[in-house]
Structure 1
C-alpha cells in the first residue's frame, strides 16, 4: 500500500479546469460565440447551430477540443457542469458536434456545426452545455526523478468556455399537462447582528429562498421584503430582494435572495413579508412571512449609524406616521397634513414639535440643521399645531402641519419634523430634553421642477482575486428637485464584448438638490481573465438624458505580491445632463 502511494505521488498529474460563463467572454486569445442558446424544437425535429470560435492571438496557434456536458445551477446561482447524461433533464445525447478537435491558426475564425436532434417522443425542457476547452501546450521539460519520500508532480492548467443550452420541446406536454410555472417562497429569515458587531456590519440581513416547483425554468422578478410594524399595522420599509448571480431557476431548483435594512427602525415587533412577481404565464405566488424584534438598544445603534453621533442618535421616544410626507403646493398656496404620533416611552412626557432643515452627507448620513442655514429648506414655511402637548405611555395623538408656500417658490423644499421630550416629573426642569426625529417633509411646487444631475467620478476599489471588489460612483444633483438614481454597470473586455452586467441604486435614498451622493456597489460577477476592461455606468435619475461614465481598469496576470493588485486606470465621463 505504501509503495502504491509513493508511485502515485511521484507521477501526480493535476488538471484544474476553470469555466468562464458569460456573454461572448474569453480566456486569453480564445473566444466563443454565442455562449448561450435558447432553442424551441418539436419532437422528431432537428436544428443546426453554428458555434463561432476565434483565436485573437497574432502569433500563436491554438488547439481546442469540444465536448458536451450537462448543465445546472446551484442554489447560490453559480453554474455547475456535471458529466454528460447524469442529470434528470439532460439533453447531452441530443447534441452532435461536427468537429471536436480543432487547431486555430493566429487570427483565425471558424464555425463549428452543432446539430440538435430531438427524439420523436421527447417532451419537456432540457439543459446542457457545449464546452470549448483549450488544450494546454505540451510540457517539454523532462521529468526529474525524486526520492520516494518526496511528493512531486506536474500541475497543468486547462481553461474552457461554456456555451449553455436550454431546449424546449415545442408543442408537448409534461405528464399530460401543459408547461407549468410554479414558484414558492420558503425559509424567510432575518439576521440581526450581535450588539458587539453592529457598528461593523451596520445592517440587518433579510433572506428568502425561492423554489421552482413547476416543470419549466423560471426567473422571478421584483423580489421585495415588506417590513410591517405589527402594532401600527403599517408597512414602514420596502427592501429589494436580489441575487448577485444568475436568477434563473431550473425545475426542482432553488435560489437564495437577500436584502438589507439599513435605515433605522423604532423599537417594537415587526413582520417581514417576502414577495416576488413572475411573468404572465406564471401562477400567483403566495408571500411568506417571518417576525423579528427591534430592541431599544438596537434602535439606538441604528439611529447612531444612520444619523451620526450627536443629539439625534439616541433611541426614539416619539414615533411619527407617515414617515415621509410628500405634498404638491403651488406658489402662494396653502396646505395641511395630519401626522399621527405616539409615545414609545414607558413614562408620560411633555412634547414640543418643530421643523428643522435637512441635508444628506455624501455617504448617506442625514444631517439636521437649523432653519435658514441651507438652501431649499421648508422649515420656515410650516407650523406645528399644537406645538406642545402631553402624552401618556403608549398614547397616540394627531397633530397638524400647516404649510404656506411663498410666491415665486420653485422646485422642491425639504425639512424634518423634530420632537423634544421631557418627563412629567418633579425634577423635569433640571433635565436636558431628549430629541426624536419624526417625519421627513418634501414640498414640491408643481410645474417648476428642473431635474438635472451629473456623475462626478467613477472607479473601482483595488482588484482582488481576479476581479474588482467594489464600484464607486459620485452623483451630484444639480437640479432643483430630489431624485433617486438607479441604473446599470456593464463591464466590457478589450474587444468590446460585455462580460458582466449588474444593477445599481436599489437601496439609494433620495439625493436632494445641491447634494452629492457616493454610491457603492459590490461587484457581483465571476473572476475575469487577465487583460484590459472598461466599466460603463449609466445612471437614470429622471432627467432628459441618463448620466454616463466610463472607467478603464486592468486585471493583472500575476500579482507581484500577496497584497491586492493596484490597477492602471483611466476615466472619462460623457452625457452628463
Structure 2
C-alpha cells in the first residue's frame, strides 16, 4: 500500500500486487510495479505485506521523503468503484444467450472514465488437470460488455449489460468462468484504480461435481511452545467453492490432542 501524508493523517493512494514467485534460500528478489500515475513531492508511507505458503508475515512499513513530479500538485488517489453484484452468476443452456446486469457506482468527488475488458482467470493460464486445460473452463470469449467505455459523474451510477452465450462445443463442462476488469482514470489520464468482477457461467444441462484434495500438510515449531499447521489444497472438481479448513491433531493411539480451524487468504477457489 502507498499512503500520502495530508496534515496529521495518512491518505491511501493505491496498492500494487506482485505475482506469486518461488524463492530458494539465500536468494533476494527485486520486485517492481508501475503505479500508473505521477506523484507530487511529499511524505509517503509504504506498507508491504508478504505471504509465505498462505501465511502472512509481519508487514514492513517505511516512511520516505519523496521527490516527485514538479508539475503535479494533487495526488491521483484510487477511487472506490462499487460493483453490484461483485460476482455475477448466469445460468444458460448450450446454444443459448443470456443477458445480466451490473450496477457501477463511484465514490470519487471527480468524474472518472471507466473502461471494461474481459480476461481468462489468471489461475487458468498454463494449467491442466489430466486432459482438462485451464483455458477450457474460460468463457471470456463468449462475454460481451455493453457499454464497455463510459464516464461516471460524482455520486452517480451506471448500469451495464453483460451478454453471454454458451456455444455447443464438443467438450461441454458444467461451469465456465471469466474476469471483468473495470479500469478507472481521471480526466487527465492518470489512473484512478481498478476493480474486478467474477463471472460464473453455469451449464444448466450438467450437474457439477465439487471435489477437493489436500496436497500437503506439515507441522512446524515456532518460538516457545507454539506450533504452526500448514496445508496446501487444490480444487480437483469442476465447480468453484469457498473452502473452510480445519486440522485435527491426534496421538499415535488416536487420542484427540486438539482441533482447530485454519486461517489464511479466503476466497473463491476455481477449478
The interval holding the TM-score normalised by the smaller chain is: 0.5 to 0.7
Superposed CA deviations along residues 13-62 of structure 1, whole A, max 9, x for unmatched, are: xxxxxxxxxxxxxxxxxxxxxxxxxxxxxxxxxxxxxxxxxxxxxxxxxx
Specify whether residues 505 and 423 from structure 1 end up closer, same or farther in structure 2 by C-alpha distance, changes over 3 A only.
closer
1:270-285 equivalence runs, <5 A:
none
Q: Are 1:358 and 2:117 counterparts?
A: no
Q: Are 1:326 and 2:127 counterparts?
A: no
1:404 alignment partner in structure 2: 165
1:423-502 equivalence runs, <5 A:
423-424=186-187, 428=188, 431=189, 435-446=193-204, 447-468=206-227, 470-502=228-260
**Structure of larger gyration radius:** 1
Shift of the alpha carbon at 1:340?
0.8
Q: Which of the numbers 129, 133, 141 marks the counterpart of 1:380? A: 141
Superposed CA deviations along residues 421-461 of structure 1, whole A, max 9, x for unmatched, are: 3433xxx4xx4665512322222223242323321111022
Superposed CA deviations along residues 162-181 of structure 1, whole A, max 9, x for unmatched, are: xxxxxxxxxxxxxxxxxxxx
Specify whether residues 438 and 488 from structure 1 end up closer, same or farther in structure 2 by C-alpha distance, changes over 3 A only.
closer
Specify whether residues 473 and 356 from structure 1 end up closer, same or farther in structure 2 by C-alpha distance, changes over 3 A only.
same
Specify whether residues 315 and 374 from structure 1 end up closer, same or farther in structure 2 by C-alpha distance, changes over 3 A only.
farther
Q: Are 1:349 and 2:107 counterparts?
A: no
Higher relative contact order (CA 8 A, sep 6+): 2
Contact 2:183 2:195 in 1 (8 A): no
Q: Are 1:394 and 2:152 counterparts?
A: no
1:482-561 equivalence runs, <5 A:
482-504=240-262, 508-513=266-271
Question: Within 2, Cα distance between the matches of 1:489 and 1:335?
Answer: 42
Superposed CA deviations along residues 238-282 of structure 1, whole A, max 9, x for unmatched, are: xxxxxxxxxxxxxxxxxxxxxxxxxxxxxxxxxxxxxxxxxxxxx
Contact 2:112 2:192 in 1 (8 A): no
Shift of the alpha carbon at 1:355?
1.5
Shift of the alpha carbon at 1:377?
1.9
Superposed CA deviations along residues 50-86 of structure 1, whole A, max 9, x for unmatched, are: xxxxxxxxxxxxxxxxxxxxxxxxxxxxxxxxxxxxx
Shift of the alpha carbon at 1:358?
1.8
Q: TM-score, normalised by structure 1?
A: 0.31
Question: Within 2, Cα distance between the matches of 1:328 and 1:311?
Answer: 38
Specify whether residues 435 and 307 from structure 1 end up closer, same or farther in structure 2 by C-alpha distance, changes over 3 A only.
farther
Specify whether residues 358 and 434 from structure 1 end up closer, same or farther in structure 2 by C-alpha distance, changes over 3 A only.
farther
Aligned residues: 204
- Tell me the secondary structure at the aligned position of residue 141 of structure 2: helix
Shift of the alpha carbon at 1:356?
1.8
Question: Within 2, Cα distance between the matches of 1:486 and 1:373?
Answer: 23
Specify whether residues 311 and 345 from structure 1 end up closer, same or farther in structure 2 by C-alpha distance, changes over 3 A only.
farther
How large is the Cα RMSD of the aligned pairs?
3.5
Question: Within 1, Cα distance between the matches of 2:11 and 2:166?
Answer: 38
